[in-house]
Amino acid sequence: MALLQTSLIWAVYAIVVAVLVMVASVFIYTYQTPRDRSSVVTFTCIVAITSLLATVLLLPVDVALTSSTTSSKLGQRKPWATQDEVDKIVSLLTAVYYLLYSLDAFLCLLAIPFVYFWYEEYDEVAVESGEQSAAKRLWTAFKYTISFIAIVVVLFIVGFLVPVANIKDSKVSDYLRKLLAENRGERVLTFTLGLLITMGLFLYILYTSTGLAVLPMRMIRAAPSVSDMTWKASTSAQLESNRERQRQLEGRCRGDPGLLSSKERRELDTLVRDERTLIRRQRLAEEADGEGQSRFMRAWLKTTAFFRPLKLLGGIAILLITLMIWISMLLTAIDKAKNSICKQRCGYILSGIGVFNPINWIFVQSAKVFPIDYAVLTVVVLLLFGSSVVGISTIGIRFLWIRIFRVRKGHTSPQALLLTTAMLMLTILALDYSIPMLVAPQYATFGPQTFCDRPQGQQSDCLTNKHLIKPCSELTDNTAAKRVCTPSVTSMFLNRVTISYPFFGTVFFWSQFIFLVIYLLVLVTSFIRHPKLDERLLDQEAEEAEEERLLTSSARGVGDTYQSVGGRNNFSTRAG
């Protein structure tokens, strides 16, 4: 029975990973530009995003496997769950976490920078002339990546040498003290994980909070589209007015612009440029209505128009979910500030839930019937991931106030895609802390595990005394709880980071308040401001689309010319 249950849990995880591959693929193919696609960049981004999401979504597997050893109705371990069996489960989960965290660090710190430099080194002219070989390109990319390798080496050395905190507080439980008794290898991984989460928190605060507020509001209060009748009528009126003014100026000079004054010539040039822009807008409006489109696109446009009311309902549902997440995070943060056993000295570790948390309660109850909790957590994680994507696309990739890249659907360059992937990886690492430690701390630590709170020596189960069944907690000193309760490996990893290096825990704790404040400010702003159509961005996209069409038609024309010339040569050869 135990083997069957364990196999089913891992099978569900395999299915979820397959779904994550699809999600990552859809995201990458949706945002990358069709003109400059690179299979290596695409593959790297898909693997990186899948790996991080798989790390976060290993949590329900962790909770399910550790909780499967106990009976929550009786508050005792199941007959097959000997300490050796429990240790095997924990060891397997620990190995999987080590593998995933190591893979995540490798992809974020080494693989993505290497692929970025490798793509940047590509020179089409040099390749065609034979001046740039594949080996030379790889070597150049490796030379630039050496700096990142040096950073990794420094991280390992610092993590190896930095001493862990010395917790002398008598209130700290034995469970938390054991987390300090780690070897040097664990210390390196713990320090590196804490540093990467800290880096990710800055992106998480800026992008995820913004996207979490903007995403539902975009669905509820969508900006006017190019197919809007008012916008189309305005564009047509502007185009007609523009052409009328051009006719007046051309009539005045009788076809010779040299007869116009310098002011009028500048006006005519401006009118010609504006006319091209208005024609592009008109073409976009026609395409949005399905004119000149394939049957599939027309059917897709009709389908989206039909389900537009559901988009409003979906936006309201997402808004309610995000507000519940926000409330849960706020309640847990207050609980940490008030009831943490040693405050900043151990990174605001919370050993027991003192304030009711609605999301945590939902997870604990759903965890009693696996995989309901898995489905709920997957929705929450993908919502937060999608919010991060929306935040990055809204704000862009910036250095301070300078925008380096703009992330847009179908218009994101490979370089921007790699940077976006690296940012999302760090953001997801921050989510890997926030979800278990703030959104659902009890669920992430013990799940639905309970113990029978009877004095030592009495019956070990509470079959006849249900009121003595209590949820597992790190604070309890009951020997039965220590014998029955098994904390999740996720909670041990994250608690080890915060208690070993309290500085990280303090940063993690206070950053959540900044996240909550930014979310609230952006949400209120989104309520007040009416969304508008970004005509400048629309014109830029239309211009890029026109350039792509011209390049495609030019390439087709060159190909036809080449074929016709080749055909004539072949005919001449045959005739000769």
Walk along the chain (576 residues) and give the pLDDT tens digit of each residue.
577 888 899 999 999 999 999 999 988 988 888 777 888 999 999 999 999 999 999 999 999 998 888 888 877 888 887 888 888 999 999 999 989 988 998 998 899 999 999 988 877 767 777 777 778 888 888 888 898 889 888 888 887 777 776 665 555 556 666 666 466 677 888 888 888 899 999 999 999 999 999 999 888 876 656 556 676 777 788 888 888 888 888 777 776 777 778 887 888 888 888 888 888 777 777 666 655 555 655 666 677 767 777 888 888 999 999 999 999 999 999 988 888 777 777 778 877 777 888 999 999 899 888 889 899 999 999 999 999 999 998 888 888 778 888 888 777 888 889 999 999 999 998 998 999 888 988 898 888 888 887 765 555 567 777 777 888 876 666 777 778 888 889 988 888 888 888 888 889 999 999 999 999 999 999 888 876 766 666 666 666 666 656 655 555 554 554 445 444 444 344 444
Residue 466 parent element (H or E): none
Residue 404's alpha-carbon distances to 29, 155, 398, 419, in angstroms, are: 21, 28, 5, 10
User: H helices of 57-120, where?
Assistant: 59-67, 83-106, 112-120
User: 15: how many CB neighbours lie within 10 A of its CB?
Assistant: 12
Cβ–Cβ under 8 Å, residues 115 and 142: no
Phi-psi group of 531: left, alpha or beta (phi > 0 → left; psi -120 to 50 → alpha; rest → beta)? beta
**pLDDT, position 339:** 81
Determine the longest span between alpha carbons in the chain, in angstroms.
110
Closest CA to 491 of 425, 441, 544: 441
Rounded CA-CA distance 38/116 in Å is: 11
In three-state secondary structure terms, 264 is helix
Closest CA to 385 of 420, 437, 333, 413: 420
**pLDDT, position 111:** 92
Rounded CA-CA distance 477/456 in Å is: 12
**pLDDT, position 574:** 42
Residue 70's alpha-carbon distances to 2, 4, 188, 537, in angstroms, are: 11, 16, 33, 57
**pLDDT, position 475:** 64
CA 204 to chain centre: 9
**pLDDT, position 297:** 57
Beta strands, E only, 278-329: none
**pLDDT, position 193:** 87
| Half-sphere exposure for 360 (CA within 13 Å, toward CB) | 28
The tokens describing 181, both together, are 């008794």
**pLDDT, position 327:** 94
**pLDDT, position 223:** 60
Cβ–Cβ under 8 Å, residues 64 and 372: no
C-alpha gyration radius of the chain: 30
Closest CA to 489 of 107, 197, 194, 88: 88
